[in-house]
Amino acid sequence: MSIDQTDEAVPALELRSLAKSFGGLKATRDVTFRVMPGDRKAIIGPNGAGKTTLFNLITGIYPVTSGQIFLFGNDVTKWRSHQRTALGMARTFQVTSLFPKLTVLDNVLLAINGLQPSKFVMWRPLASYRSTYDKAHSLLERASFLDRKDVEVRNLSHGEQRQLEIVLGLASDPKILLLDEPAAGLSSGESTEMAHFLIKLPRDLAILLIEHDMDVVFDVCAEISVLHFGELLETGTPEQIKKSQRVQEIYLGTG
């Protein structure tokens, strides 16, 4: 742990002047941002604003061009993905990234075992790990997936796969969860369901959400930031953002 000068709580996630360029394209410019433990924050922005790029920087899929990333007070800027996850971070993907030819149960087991030392055990059947199975069962029960646990994931509907994405994100007991458009491709009824599911998550879990579906964002998050061409333009409560002239300009192009 790095030494924290102030008495304040350590932010779950902190970005300091983060920037990323792909050749000449500046996908992320000077983003400074904080998520405290238990915060519910959202980042919105039109297509191509650099939202997913930002997540890929935070989770270590892309190396950063400049700036720093702190997770729970640790400078993780140069860390690899799995090391960052071990600090208590989890994410979901905009494009569903499950294990299609494995069963629902196996998907969840993999997600639970990610941070367990038993992931290297090769002489004992996985089926003999009672506690892992119990945990998988309770996770699946909470998301009402238990009846479909032996179905191969590729045979699930799109909506079911989106839900399973989040179950996988929760399986490692994260302290901060990054959700990349959890409602992508869902019908309006399904996204209401998704919003309810997110609201019910434990209060001490910090959530950073990227979303196009404004209803989900307004329901789940207390604070919204607007990203445009890789830059954070504005931050405020849902009401402020709804009324903001600039946000309207960006989204509706009345500028």
Contact positions vs other proteins (CB under 8 A): 59-61, 80-82, 85-86, 90-91, 93, 97-102, 106, 109-111, 113-116, 118-127, 129, 168, 171-172
Contact 14, 77 (CB under 8 A): no
* Minimum distance from residue 115 beta carbon to other proteins (Å): 5
Cα 180 to Cα 167: distance, rounded to the nearest angstrom = 14
**Nearer residue to other proteins within complex by CB, 108 or 217:** 108
Closest CB to other proteins among 9 and 121? 121
Measure the CA–CA gap between 200 and 202, rounded to whole angstroms: 6
Strand order in the sheet with 74-75: 25-35, 13-22, 66-71, 74-75
Name the minimum Å distance from CB 31 to other proteins. 20
Q: Of the two residues 94 and 241, which places its CB atom closer to other proteins in the complex?
A: 94
**Nearest to other proteins of 32, 118 (CB atom):** 118
How far apart are CB 181 and other proteins at their closest, in Å? 16
Shortest distance (Å) from residue 169 CB to other proteins:
9
Please identify which residue in the block is written with the tokens 């860390």: 79
Task: Convert 202-212 to b/e letters by CB count within 10 Å (16 or more is b).
Answer: eeebbbbbbbe
What is the rounded CA–CA span in Å between residue 183 and residue 190? 8
